[in-house]
Amino acid sequence: MDFEGFNRSIVIRSSYFVTKMLLLNTILIVFSFLSFGLLLIPITVGIFTLYRKMIMKEPYYFWTDLYHGIKNNLKVSLPLSVVFMFLGYLLWFNINNLNAFTGNSVFTVIFTAIVAYGMFLLWIYGSAIISRFDVRLLRTINFSFLIGNAHIFNTICMILFLFILIYIFNYISILLIFIVISLYLYIISFILFRILKLYEPK
């Protein structure tokens, strides 16, 4: 048996696999951050708006904070989002290649991510209520930090939902569908950002 040729073929196949995975991972990072992540920020800002107006009885300007949320998100949470994207990629690799999980584990992880996001918001609101509606708590903690972390949890949910699509479609199909949808949503996000730029608070 030609062990040298066998080992060479393994190296070639492994290099091809790693290259393909790196390319796929890069596409997931770029398009998901630029499109899906930005669209989920208004949900978090809307929750803060209702909270401040209905519970805190204080003025809260949705569009102003939405603009700053998007602006700060682009600056603050990109490195952290990349980290979570990579962790999501490792999870996907384990599910598909190492059989580390069985059954409906993907749905379980998605549910866990959603619960984690809800618990994060509950921690913020609960801390403010316990502090006797002291708004200094929310002012002390940088608002962009809150939006950035909430965006990370949203990103996790989006990536884990993408795992389901990967099970349904093959690599080529899911990449084409994901790229087309992401480009479309990125255009919408870019237009929204430019509109908000026109109405930037002075």
The two tokens of residue 126 are: 């609960």
pLDDT in tens for each of the 202 residues of the chain?
444 454 445 444 545 554 555 555 455 545 444 444 455 555 555 655 665 565 556 565 656 666 665 565 555 444 444 455 555 555 555 555 544 444 445 555 555 555 555 555 554 454 444 444 444 444 444 444 444 444 444 445 555 555 555 555 545 454 555 555 555 555 555 555 556 556 555 4
pLDDT tens profile 172-184:
454 555 555 555 5
Is residue 5 one of the residues assigned to a domain? no
| Residue 182 lies in domain | 18-198
The pLDDT assigned to 46 comes to 61
The pLDDT assigned to 96 comes to 55
Q: Is 49 left (phi over 0), alpha (psi -120 to 50) or beta?
A: alpha
Sign for the pseudo-dihedral over CA of 181, 182, 186, 187: negative
The pLDDT assigned to 99 comes to 46
- Matching residue, tokens 């290649």: 97
Say whether 199 sits in a helix, a strand or coil. Answer: coil
The pLDDT assigned to 95 comes to 53
Number of structural domains, the chain? 1
The pLDDT assigned to 101 comes to 44
pTM above 0.75, yes or no: no
The pLDDT assigned to 147 comes to 43
**Element (DSSP H or E) covering residue 37:** none
Is residue 6 one of the residues assigned to a domain? no
Instruction: Report the candidate in 149, 151, 125 with the shortest Cα–Cα distance to residue 36.
Output: 151
Amino acid at 50: L
Is residue 28 one of the residues assigned to a domain? yes
Instruction: Report the candidate in 145, 139, 140, 84 with the shortest Cα–Cα distance to residue 120.
Output: 145
DSSP 77: S
Is residue 3 one of the residues assigned to a domain? no
Instruction: Report the candidate in 84, 76, 99 with the shortest Cα–Cα distance to residue 25.
Output: 84
Is residue 40 one of the residues assigned to a domain? yes
Is residue 87 one of the residues assigned to a domain? yes
Is residue 106 one of the residues assigned to a domain? yes
Is residue 142 one of the residues assigned to a domain? yes
The pLDDT assigned to 7 comes to 46
